[in-house]
Amino acid sequence: MNIGIICYASVGGSGIVATELGKVLARRGHQVHFISTETPFRLGEFQAGLYFHQVLTPTYPLFREPQYLLSLANKVVQVARDSQLDVIHAHYAVPHATAAFLARQVLGANGGAAPRVVTTLHGTDITLVGSDSSYREIVAFSIEQSDAVTAVSDSLRASTVEQLAVSRPIDVIPNFLDVSVHRRLEVPDLRRRFCGDDPETRLVIHVSNFRPVKRIDAVMEIFDRIRRRVPARLLLVGDGPELPMAQRMARELGFASLVHAVGAQEEVLPLMSSADVFLLPSAQESFGLAALEAMSCGVPVVASAVGGLPEVIEHGVSGFLHPPAALDDMAESAVAVLRDPELRCRIGEAASRRVRERFSAERVVPMYEACYAGVVARDR
């Protein structure tokens, strides 16, 4: 099958999932065409069956803002014609589902062949952007006009129906990992770089895009509680507007020397594998891909019980979930894991087993293939 994938190229869950999906689909014999402004994050080395088509948005004095939606739709039309796409898979509703709809209208004019459109909702495209009155009507329309719609969690599906009042069915297909690749690595030298030679020092990690929704201030406050009870270091992976605030808080709270901020990293497996516990006290998570990556490496996750996280983590079994305001409880769970190697091992093994059993590429990607086959076979 020839599949066009529209995604954001920047660091973020939707782009990472779209890229990993395309790579697995190509290995399974499909022809996959990525359509984006830049080479997708984590696309990696050349792989047979994968193609990249860059969207260029020219600027003209007549236009006060770049016309990305129009240039994207135009590129989708070109790729669909040249590569005879069967399906356009739009990841993130705004503006990708809208561009897919426009491209299909152009391709279908005068009786021409047009690919089916599948839209995958990832989270903030609904809970933040899609719920804004400036976009709500067009987002809802684009979802309704798609041939199939999927969401990465039951929580996100419910939020979409509630906030946008869409009436069409939405299938839940969760995020996934290639568990043959995403597994714990032995990286003693890297751990020593962060923790030194003291075997009792523990490493706490947080990975995100450092947006306000991630509550980086809560990460710093929880770590402040942890480090007063356990020798620990904090590893911050990623970049974004809240990172300077985190570094300022570390200085004000007196533990700046215990923090390692390594910026955005394409390869997070060695960093995850070095850690003892992962903190994710977000205000909202439609799924929590970073938590899944930590779990696949056998790292216990301490997170907020919000959005789709309870669908990923079983409290007390494969991780720990607490109300967002319960910073003391989050710190208590983290300290328990850091002090008790047996508990840390048990939770970590349960977490990696849960990823293998419920969120592996082998289990999830066939759901997308079935979705594609269904829309291609269906009459409009």
Domain coordinates in residue numbering, the chain: 2-176+360-377, 188-358
pLDDT at 131: 67
CA-based nearest residue to 165, from 143, 145, 134: 143
CA angle 45–299–307, rounded 5-degree value: 90
pLDDT at 272: 96
b/e per residue 256-271 (b: at least 16 CB within 10 A): eebbbbeebeeebbbb
**Fold match, 2-176+360-377 / 188-358:** yes
Query: Hey, what amino acid is at 91?
Result: H
pTM (2 d.p.): 0.91
- Whole-number Å distance between alpha carbons of 78 and 98: 16
**Residue ranges of the chain with per-residue pLDDT less than 50:** none
DSSP, collapsed to helix, strand or coil, labels residue 324 as: coil
Q: Are 347 and 354 in contact (CB under 8 A)?
A: no
Crossing angle of helices 216-227 and 327-339, rounded to 10°: 50
CA angle 190–191–197, rounded 5-degree value: 115
Structure tokens at 102: 């426009």
pLDDT at 38: 87
Q: Are 312 and 287 in contact (CB under 8 A)?
A: yes
- Whole-number Å distance between alpha carbons of 184 and 272: 8
- Whole-number Å distance between alpha carbons of 137 and 124: 16
Dihedral pair phi/psi, residue 260, rounded to 5°: -120, 115
- Whole-number Å distance between alpha carbons of 185 and 271: 9
Cis-peptide, bond into residue 95, ω within 30° of zero: yes
- In this structure, CATH architecture of domain 188-358: 3-Layer(aba) Sandwich (3.40)
- DSSP characters for 40-63? PTT--S--TTEEEEE------TT-
pLDDT at 11: 55
CA-based nearest residue to 276, from 306, 249, 299, 250: 299
CATH fit for domain 2-176+360-377, picks 3.30.1330.10, 3.90.1280.10, 3.40.50.2000, 3.90.1150.10: 3.40.50.2000
Count other C-beta atoms under 10 Å from residue 156's C-beta: 25
